[in-house]
Amino acid sequence: MTGVPHLAGFYLLVDQSTDELVYIGQSKDVHTRLLSHSTKYWDGRELEFAFNTQNSSILPHNLKELENDLIGCYFNLNRKLPRYNY
């Protein structure tokens, strides 16, 4: 997880072979959360990630609200949820 800071933020997980967005998440520590995700089995998929960190003063409920907004936007554009959300 070189280059991923221990800060609050959002992240996307994408299937490398299909470019399908499979998960949208948030965490108070993006580095630790992505490290946790890297140990999971994702049906044999090789995943890439992108992340965006936020101001350290962002509140946990604001992270969750913005994550839901990102998932809702994805649904509006694609008429489906990311494969591993929910």
C-beta separation of 11 from 50 below 8 A:
yes
pLDDT of residue 45 exceeding 90, the answer is: yes
Categorize the per-residue pLDDT at 35 as very low, low, confident or very high, splitting at 50, 70 and 90: very high
Show Cβ contacts of residue 42 under 8 Å, excluding neighbours closer than 6 positions. Answer: 13, 22, 84
In this prediction the pTM is: 0.94
pLDDT of residue 82 exceeding 80, the answer is: yes
pLDDT of residue 81: 98
pLDDT of residue 13: 98
pLDDT of residue 86: 87
How far CA 18 is from CA of 21, 39, 46, in Å, comes to 9, 21, 10
